[in-house]
């Protein structure tokens, strides 16, 4: 069976912009472009260790209002390309990338902590997913709840790092 290391993106393995004070916390403040992509301390190294320990890397991210003026698709795509290229230089890639593009009131089934966004992927894992030995890395309560809903162990990362992996190996 496949054991997964599922990673939240923003604030977990790349730097997340701070929200301006006094704004609606449900509002979104995405990266403005690929030039803002910064891997957090320990992130690349941690992902390498997870790979070496037999984990399959998966990303699960809520990208609120993606595809709107607040969060243009082309900016997101440029950011993701930068991330993928940098990971590839280290021999790393995600087996699956789950992106929820919806807002908090859209009632979708793919916005963390809901786990519906992973179902299509799980359906493709022929050998099955080893939930008992999988991990979810995240910096928010929604990530913790997502891990609970999936019944996998949660690894808490402080927002904007460092990225630390648990003593498992």
Catalytic residues: 8, 10
Let me know the angle formed at the C-alpha of 86 by 154 and 78, rounded to the nearest 5 degrees: 95
Q: CB under 5 to 8 A by kind: which of Zn ion, Mg ion, none does 139 bind?
A: Mg ion
What are the two backbone dihedrals, phi and then psi, of residue 138, each rounded to the nearest 5 degrees? -165, 165
10 binds Mg ion (CB under 5 A): yes
3 state SS of 70: coil
13 binds Mg ion (CB under 5 A): no
Minimum CB–partner distance for residue 111 and Zn ion (Å): 4
- DSSP structural state of residue 73: H
102 binds Zn ion (CB under 5 A): yes
- DSSP structural state of residue 19: P
Q: CB under 5 to 8 A by kind: which of Zn ion, Mg ion, none does 110 bind?
A: Zn ion
Peptide bond into 162 cis (omega under 30): yes
Q: What pairs with residue 5 in β-bridges?
A: 57, 135
8 binds Mg ion (CB under 5 A): yes
Q: Which of 111, 129, 147, 161 binds Zn ion (CB under 5 A)?
A: 111
Q: CB under 5 to 8 A by kind: which of Zn ion, Mg ion, none does 157 bind?
A: none
State which of positions 101-160 bind Mg ion (CB under 5 A).
139
């Amino acid at each position: 069976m496949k054991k997964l290391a599922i990673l939240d993106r923003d604030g977990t393995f790349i730097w997340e912009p701070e929200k301006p004070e006094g704004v609606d916390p449900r509002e979104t403040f995405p990266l403005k472009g690929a030039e803002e992509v910064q891997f957090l301390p320990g992130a690349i190294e941690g992902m390498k260790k997870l790979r070496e320990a037999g984990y399959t890397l998966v990303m699960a991210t809520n990208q609120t209002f993606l595809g709107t003026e607040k969060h243009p698709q082309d900016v997101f795509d440029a950011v993701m390309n930068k991330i993928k290229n940098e990971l590839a230089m280290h021999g790393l890639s995600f087996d699956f990338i789950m992106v929820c593009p919806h807002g908090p009131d859209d009632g979708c089934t793919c916005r963390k902590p809901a786990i519906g966004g992973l179902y299509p992927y799980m359906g493709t894992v022929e050998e099955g997913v080893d939930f008992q030995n999988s991990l979810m890395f995240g910096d928010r309560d929604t990530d913790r709840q997502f891990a609970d809903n999936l019944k996998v162990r949660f690894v808490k990362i402080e927002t904007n790092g460092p990225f630390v992996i648990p003593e498992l190996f």
